């Protein structure tokens, strides 16, 4: 069986964009792959986090994973920092990546823009090497991610090929999987911009654990246009197109079908339907989340996975160390 691997980092609260762009795919694909899904907590350290907040968010992501339908029968769930081999391999990959290629990462360019060198952590720069380590440690065949992470998975492919050429075949070369619809959910107030965890407080971002009434209000006040006709046109109608994608993803029906359903509706009616759909989705997810937190089942699941992921990663790092010539 082929392997799937992906993760979400615990910076900010998990958003509807994370669900539609990433998490939903993990759940849909888990039965067809041997799945590994983790909380990328070491990735959160590229910026400062309050330690107690970080701990809570890590726990929340695990519970959200389970509430969204990741099933320990199919998916090995773990926390990155609990498997120290990730950082071992990351160092080796850093030493095999170039300043030039890391400087070309769009996310690095965006996040460092306008900041002086003293304000940018080295981790923000090297983080794609850690992400490559996450992927290559497990010989992942496929990596489902939102479109913003595609470039990082491509770097992981390049690093795998480079290492294999230098030292002999060691790593599987992974494929990014980007879902066709919903690869990028946009900010409700500024539909040119990705809905992002870093703007949690804004009216444009819906969080999975957000109060339902507040989420509905955000949909109702989403920016649209003045045409008052409902159809998908990302260039000219980014706001309406974003709402169409959200509705179609949550409802599990094709965009064309959604266009048909709402072809005679006005924007107010359409938004009300989207808000209802979002509310239903969030309320069912939050009920499951609460039950999971109360049951304490997550700890048991994580404890059971830890030995499995450690063994896989240890074997890979030993192979790498032996090939590059470190140790005895
Ligand atoms: P992050 O929030 O950066 O940890 O992202 C975790 C996963 O969610 C990655 O696969 C991202 O590509 C995906 N993702 C994050 N924000 C969005 C968004 N607004 N739309 C679609 N996918 C997203
Ligand atoms: N960097 C990803 C993000 O910010 C999270 C992540 C870390 C990841 N390691 C990964 C995703 C490995 C897929 C595979 O969204």
Whether 171 and 163 have beta carbons less than 8 Å apart is answered as yes
Whether 205 and 181 have beta carbons less than 8 Å apart is answered as no
Binding site membership of 149 for ligand 2 (Cβ less than 6 Å): yes
174 Cα–ligand 1 center, Å: 19
**194 carries an active-site annotation:** yes
pLDDT at 201: 67
What are 119-126's contacts with CB under 8 Å, separation 24+?
A: 121/46, 121/47, 123/45, 123/46, 124/46, 124/47, 126/90, 126/94, 126/97, 126/102
Binding site membership of 143 for ligand 2 (Cβ less than 6 Å): yes
Whether 99 and 54 have beta carbons less than 8 Å apart is answered as no
**300 carries an active-site annotation:** no
User: Atom 6 (ligand 2): residue with closest C-alpha?
Assistant: 7
310 Cα–ligand 2 center, Å: 19
pLDDT at 116: 85
**Residue 73 Cα distances to 33, 36, 39, 78, 301, angstroms:** 12, 11, 18, 14, 10
Q: What is the CA radius of gyration of the chain?
A: 21
CA–centroid distance for 181 within its chain: 15
Report the relative pairing of strands 142-144 and 75-79 from DSSP bridges.
unpaired
Report the relative pairing of strands 34-39 and 3-8 from DSSP bridges.
parallel
Integer Cα distance of 7 and 51 in angstroms: 20
Report which bound ligand comes closest to the CA of 108. 2
**234 carries an active-site annotation:** no
Binding site membership of 135 for ligand 2 (Cβ less than 6 Å): yes
146 Cα nearest atom in ligand 2: 15
pLDDT along the chain (328 residues), means of 10: 96 93 94 98 96 97 97 98 98 98 94 87 96 98 93 98 98 93 88 84 92 97 95 96 96 95 96 98 98 95 97 98 96
117 Cα–ligand 1 center, Å: 26
Binding site membership of 25 for ligand 2 (Cβ less than 6 Å): no
134 Cα nearest atom in ligand 2: 12
Q: Which of 31, 109, 113, 194 is catalytic?
A: 194
**Residue 207 Cα distances to 105, 212, 240, 252, angstroms:** 27, 10, 20, 20
Binding site membership of 43 for ligand 2 (Cβ less than 6 Å): yes
């Amino acid at each position: 069986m082929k392997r799937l691997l992906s993760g979400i980092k615990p910076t900010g609260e998990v958003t509807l964009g994370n669900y539609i762009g990433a998490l939903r795919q993990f759940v849909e694909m888990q039965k067809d792959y041997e799945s590994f899904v983790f909380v990328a907590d070491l990735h959160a350290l590229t910026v400062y986090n309050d330690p107690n907040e970080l701990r809570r968010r890590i726990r929340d992501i695990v519970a959200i994973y389970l509430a969204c339908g990741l099933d320990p029968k199919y998916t090995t769930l773990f926390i990155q920092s609990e498997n120290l081999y990730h950082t071992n391999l990351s160092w080796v990959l850093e030493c095999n990546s170039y300043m030039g290629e890391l400087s070309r990462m769009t996310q690095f360019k965006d996040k460092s823009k306008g900041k002086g060198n003293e304000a940018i952590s080295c981790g923000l720069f090297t983080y794609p090497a850690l992400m490559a380590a996450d992927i290559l440690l497990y010989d992942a065949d496929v990596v489902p991610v939102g479109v913003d992470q595609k470039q990082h998975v491509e770097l992981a492919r390049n690093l795998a090929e480079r290492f294999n050429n230098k030292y002999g075949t060691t790593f599987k070369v992974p494929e990014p999987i980007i879902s066709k619809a919903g690869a990028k959910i946009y900010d409700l107030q500024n539909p040119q911009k990705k809905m992002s965890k870093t703007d949690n407080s804004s009216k444009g971002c819906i969080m999975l654990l957000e109060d339902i009434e507040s989420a509905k209000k955000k949909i109702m006040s989403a920016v649209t246009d003045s045409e008052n006709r409902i159809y998908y046109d990302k260039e000219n109608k980014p706001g309406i197109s974003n709402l169409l994608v959200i509705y179609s993803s949550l409802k599990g029906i094709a965009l064309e079908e959604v266009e048909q359903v709402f072809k005679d509706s006005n924007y107010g009616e359409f938004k009300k339907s989207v808000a209802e759909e979002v509310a239903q989705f969030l309320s069912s997810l939050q009920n499951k989340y609460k039950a999971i937190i109360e049951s304490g089942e997550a700890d048991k699941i994580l404890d059971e996975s830890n030995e499995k992921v450690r063994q896989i990663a240890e074997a890979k790092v030993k192979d790498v160390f032996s090939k590059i010539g470190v140790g005895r």
